[in-house]
Structure 1
């Protein structure tokens, strides 16, 4: 793996190397490359916005942010983001990481797909979300130079049909637990993927509750 991409140094600590090995061995190349690109876009956002952040923690967070979509979690009752955060927590505990670092990584992963919240929390939480959103839906796309985007994609390619494939990956990771998508962007995924999916509606839940008025 290259040590520097688009001006960003790739973390090479024992924790970072172990995270790389674990995620590369367990995730598809589509998801692994997405995670690596998310790290770079997040790091570049932090450097551009002059935020102080821990690159190693950003790297681990980015690598683990989607592991909750794997087959082993598809029967989980939790949101996939929570399963991903729990996996990162368990991994970091094995390496003796500090409780504060583990808690921040957990929050960054758990909140990475929740619009309007991460940018008001710590730089790590904000940057994990920013990196993921840039790679998935092109958030703040024009704030990155063409050279930065090209170098990142050259190092870790967006394979042909990435847009549809990433939606499918999300859908397959959540189709057995549709109730966990309530109130999140994940409901959009299942709404497009599954013709039998029916969204829960907050107003319907309020009006249909057991309360008399």
Structure 2
């Protein structure tokens, strides 16, 4: 088990004062109807940028639809809250409450484990680890798809929302249109790319670029993209 960093548990259990998005009744119609999912959603809604929250909700809908088509255990009522937690928390490391010393994928995994610990009742350590792995590896192409079924679902669902060629055959144009109609994407690519990059650049070089954005990583690619195009104001060219 990869334990949360010191302080993450307290942050994940305490209500946020930022109230960035608040609870959206429309979202509550499309998430699992259990206490864990509602608590995790409330925390995400009060901490994530609204467009990153909408992206995370779409990722959940894509992952759920794929799990149902494949008759996966992750689509069953007892596993669905864990799938939801993995999807809704996969970018939690981009928010100020979880801008810790590790790369954002790891911080997001730690946040999810803390939420599961405080709100998950009898969620096993193995299930917490499954969720952590799915989040921590969601940008690791070729690894996430094979390390576990949950990590595969999250990785492919992220790919569907960003219309990556490897994932698009697993969804439909109608599905994409429906999910984007429910939770509009806006400028998610710019918002997410800037959020990851700004966190890294806000840390000292040895801490930020070496730990939060190691060379062989998606955050590292984004930081290089920013450095190579410092005056560019559009979507990070390395996104």
What TM-score does the superposition give when structure 1 sets the normalisation length? 0.81
Unpaired segments ≥5 residues, structure 1: 198-213
Q: What's the CA shift string for 1:142-162, capped at 9, x where partnerless? A: 432221111100111111x33
Separation (CA, whole Å) in 1 of partners of 2:108 and 2:88: 10
C-alpha offsets along residues 91-146 of structure 1, whole Å, 9 cap, x if unaligned? 11112222221111111111111111112122211111111222235342243222
Shift of 1:84: 0.9
Q: Higher relative contact order at CA 8 Å, sep ≥6: structure 1 or structure 2?
A: 1
Partner in structure 2 of residue 120 of structure 1: 146
5+ residue gaps, structure 2: 1-24, 231-239
From 57, 60, 66, the equivalent of 2:85 is 60
- 3-state SS of the aligned residue for 2:162? helix
**Equivalences for 1:25-104 in 2 at 5 Å?**
25-53=46-74, 54-74=79-99, 76-95=100-119, 96=121, 97-104=123-130
| TM-score normalized with structure 2 length | 0.73
Please state how far the C-alpha of 1:4 moved relative to its aligned partner: 9.4
From 174, 183, 207, give the equivalent of 1:147. 174
Partner of residue 45, structure 2: 24
Partners of 1:3 and 1:79 lie apart in 2 by 28
Compared CA separation, residues 163 and 154, structure 1 to 2 (3 A): same
- Once residues 226 and 64 of structure 2 are traced to their aligned partners in structure 1, the CA distance between those partners, rounded to angstroms, is 32
Partner of 1:184: 217
- C-alpha separation in 2, matches of 1:173 and 1:66: 13
